[in-house]
Each structure stands twice: as structure tokens, then as C-alpha cells.
Amino acid sequence: MRLSHLLFKTQKQAPKDEVAINAKLLIRANFIQKLMAGVYSFLPLGFQVRERVINIIREEMNALGASEIIMPALHPRSLWEATGRWQGMAKIMYQFKDHSGREIGLGPTHEEVVAVLAKTAISSYVDLPKAVYQIQTKFRDEPRVKSGLLRGREFTMKDLYSFHRDQPSSDEFYDRTKRAYRKIFERCGLNSFITEASGGDFSKEHSHEFMVECPAGEDEIFLCRLCGFAQNKEIAAKTKNHRCPHCQKGVWEKVKSIEVGNIFKLGTKFSEPAQLFYKDSKGNLKPVIMASYGIGVERLIGTIVEIHHDEKGMIWPTSIAPYLFYLLEVGESSSALKKFGEQVYNRLEKFGVEILYDDREKVSAGEKFADADLVGLPWRLVISEKTLVQEKIEIKRRDEKESRLIKLNEIKNYLKR
């Protein structure tokens, strides 16, 4: 891709109204743009990252055997009345009347909708188990939105819902999903802690939050680095000698964290009001056992930036970088260099190499170097007089100091995502 073709312009200064590192860097690098507090557009480079994150999530959801659907954002009040959440979630839910007086809510989550939706396909034990997910826009009237992509008023959530005959089979799927979540975060370059949290009003059992340790986080958890056990602040056991209550050996440490995912056992809380029942093998009518599982796509992206950056800019993990290589020439005035640059770019493009060519005119090499660091692609390729005479290119990893000269065909050693 030629940088000159993209809607792209970096900013030297971070916007004054942003405090979070993720927002500052993503806005400066023109990955995102703020429309209003908690509401962001994704520009070409940001969109690429978002697509890659979504693809990783989608692959792992499909591997679980869940099927993808999409549900509406506009919900009728009656549906939410049935579960008591029209009032229960009134603070966070955008609620309004349309021109004909119909009362409508913008979906902050989809348990109500999915329970009703599942009724057409589930009526007997032979119809179970089932699992569906969507990657869809949620709306939440969040009181404070100071953390950039970590907390939006409009954001994309991957929400998965499972339907089972009984608790043991539901729990087995729940545990498989836990492992899938760990894998998703790992593939995105994040180390997550599975953290016990209260089941909320759904269940007496614990729910589980997936927490990434990070100073920018709005949450606090206790964790044990020795055995990996973690609990959120609300339920964390008070311990003697600050030892882990699980293994009794490690230190029970309090750290700031970001909740990138959350999974809940719902029991029959949503199936009963929706009358989502099935007939068991003896002909008895039973409520379906449900569970729900969420991941915030933009929050995940914001977390990745919070974890992977330095004073110069972002450092994307190869798995989700918008492109693998950032190509630039030093010495814009030399036509021989420009020609070599074009040649290199065209050859690599032809071979399907994921490359971003900084072909912008009237932008100095110094600015291009700074932008390469800010944008944070995994590899920087530089063409200069020095490399030209040897018909080589200089390659450097974004997070390393040393560069080296390679022949163009050696690029094949660097293509792995």
C-alpha cells in the first residue's frame, strides 16, 4: 500500500483533551479520530488493526463450534421489561421514544434478544447444545470516558451466547471458552489473568474476568504470579501474611488491570422470561441453561497500545499490525534512489508482501523516520545511497536498535505474522 493513497496525516502533538496513552498515540498516528467523548472513527490503519483483531476472535469462536450471527442495535422496551433490566440498566442504556412514541433502547448487551431469537430453533433436547456469537456495535451511556478506546460510549463487542440442557454440559463449554479467550489474548500479544469476580445478579457462582496487568487500567485485582490465581478487588479474600489464598506460597499482590473480557454463567435468568424451554427425553419442559461471553474489540486494541509502545510510538505485535513493513527512502532528491524505492516496492507488492510504502512527497526523511516509529509496524525497511550501491535494503525491527543489510529476496525470512 502506498501511504500517499491513504487518508493519513500524523500529528506531532497529542490532542489536549486526551489523557490516555492509547488515545494519544492512536490519534497522533491517525489510526482513529474522536467524534465526541467516547466515540471514535477508525481510519485506514486503525481499521486494518481492527479487522485483524476481529479475525483472530472470529477464528477462535468458530473453532469452538459457535456460529456467527448479527442482531439489531434497536430494541423494544417490552423485551427489556420482561427481565427487569429496562429499569435495572436504565443508567447505562440509551433509551428514547421514536416519532410515533414507541419506546426504544440501544442495546448495551444482547441476552434478551438472543434468548427470544433462540426459541425458533430450540424446542427439544435434540436441538441442544448451541452457541452463537456476533461482532456488533454496543451503546452504553458511560458516565466517565477518560481512557480512550478502553471505555467508549459506542464500541464493538464480540458477544457469544451458549445454550445447554444442563449445568454440567454448559460448564464444560464455559471452560473451553475460557481457554479460547486466553488464546485470543495471547495471539494479540497480551498476557491475561483469569480473575474470579462476583456473578452479579445472574448467579451465585463466580463470573470470570480476563484481566491484563496495566497501570492505565481502571480495575484493581489481586493476583499470584506463582500459580496464576487472581480475584478482583470486590471479592478478593483478605489473606494472612499476604500469601496467595489458592497456593498459599506466592505473594498475593494488588495490581491495576484492564478487563478485556468477561464471561458469565446465566443459568435460567434469561431463558425463563423469554420462555426458552426445551422438552427433555421424558417429555418434561425445562428452561435452557445459558451463558454469555464478551470481549470488547476496541478495548482490546487500546490495551495492546497501552502495553506495546515506547516514547516514540506504538509497537504492534506482528499478528495484528496493519502491515508488516514500513518502507522509506533517505534522500528524496535522488532520482536513482526513488527509482530503486519504486522497484523494491513494486516487487514486494507483487509477491504479496504486506508493505506500507512511505511515498509521500514533500515529507522529509526525518519526518518519515519519526512516523515509522509512531505508526509502529514490526519492520522498517530503508533505502539509501549506502544500500543502493550494494543493491540491498536496510531492515530494522521496531523494538530493536540494530539494523542490518539484506538482499531483497531475503525478505522471505521476515514474512511470518
Binding site for ligand ATP (CB under 6 A): 109, 140, 142, 151-152, 155, 157, 259-262, 294-296, 298-299
Compute the distance between CA of residue 306 and CA of residue 122 in angstroms, rounded to an integer.
43
Least Å distance, CB 395 to ligand ATP, is 36
State the Cα angle at 262 between 56 and 190, rounded to 5°.
45
Interacting partner of 217 out of ligand ATP, Mg ion, none (Cβ under 5 to 8 A depending on kind): none
Say which residue the cell 426445551 belongs to.
278
Q: How far is the CB of 152 from ligand ATP (least distance, A)?
A: 4
What is the smallest separation between the CB atom of 262 and ligand ATP, expressed in angstroms?
Answer: 3
Residue 359 CB, nearest approach to ligand ATP (Å) = 35
- Sign for the CA dihedral angle at 78, 80, 85, 90 comes to negative
- Closer Cβ to Mg ion, 231 or 384, answer by number: 231
Longest dimension (CA), the chain: 83
Residue 258 interacts with, from Mg ion, ligand ATP, none (CB under 5-8 Å by kind) = none
State the binding partner of 341 from Mg ion, ligand ATP, none, CB within 5 to 8 A by kind: none
In the list ligand ATP, Mg ion, none, the entry touching 294 (Cβ below 5 to 8 angstroms by class) is ligand ATP
Q: Within the chain, how many helices (H) and strands (E) appear? A: 10, 23
Shortest distance, position 261 Cβ to ligand ATP, whole Å: 5
Instruction: Considering the complex, state which of residue 259 and residue 359 has its C-beta at the smaller distance from ligand ATP.
Output: 259
In the complex with ligand ATP, the residue whose CB is nearer, 115 or 353, is 115
In the complex, minimum distance from the CB of residue 218 to ligand ATP, in angstroms, rounded to a whole number: 7
- Classified as helix, coil or strand, 256 is strand
Nearer to ligand ATP, 20 or 295 (CB): 295
Q: In sequence order, which ranges of 138-223 are alpha helices (DSSP H)?
A: 167-187
Rounded to 5 degrees, φ, ψ at 211 are -110, 135
Which of residues 257 and 387 has its CB atom nearest to Mg ion in the complex? Answer: 257
- Of 334, 343, 348, give the one whose Cα is nearest residue 384: 334
Cα–Cα–Cα angle for 196, 319, 375, nearest 5°?
105
